[in-house]
Amino acid sequence: MSFNDGTPVRSSVFRLGQRGKTWFITRDNVFYGDYASRDQAVNAASFAARAVEARGGVAQVLAIPGDVVVPHSPKVAAKAPAKAPAKAKRSKT
């Protein structure tokens, strides 16, 4: 894949996994970092993926096992279904 000017596009795959109680990230199968929780790992991988994309690259965040795609773009996260609003209680007056 390349830009119109012939510059190659950087492609990165960030994978999240768990070893014991520690979550870890790899970038293109190379260790990237350890994290105390899944949320921290997802946030770090998502931030890194968005940074790659900001420089014109292509990035994907996957959770192992199974390489489940983890949405990392703010636009994708915004499309996630929101919780239904709580029903308002009517007062008896």
Average pLDDT over all residues of the chain? 81
Residue 84: the pLDDT is: 42
Q: What is the pLDDT of residues 18-31, one digit of tens each?
A: 999 999 999 999 99
Q: Is 13 exposed, middle or buried (0-12, 13-18, 19+ CB in 10 A)?
A: middle
Specify the length of the chain in residues. Answer: 93
Residue 43 lies in a domain: yes
Q: What is the pLDDT of residues 49-72, one digit of tens each?
A: 999 999 999 999 999 888 899 988
Residue 86 lies in a domain: no
What is the reported pTM?
0.70
Residue 88 lies in a domain: no
Q: Is pLDDT of 7 > 80?
A: no
User: Which residues are 30's β-sheet partners?
Assistant: 27
Residue 3 lies in a domain: no
Residue 91 lies in a domain: no
Residue 20 lies in a domain: yes
Domain count, the chain: 1
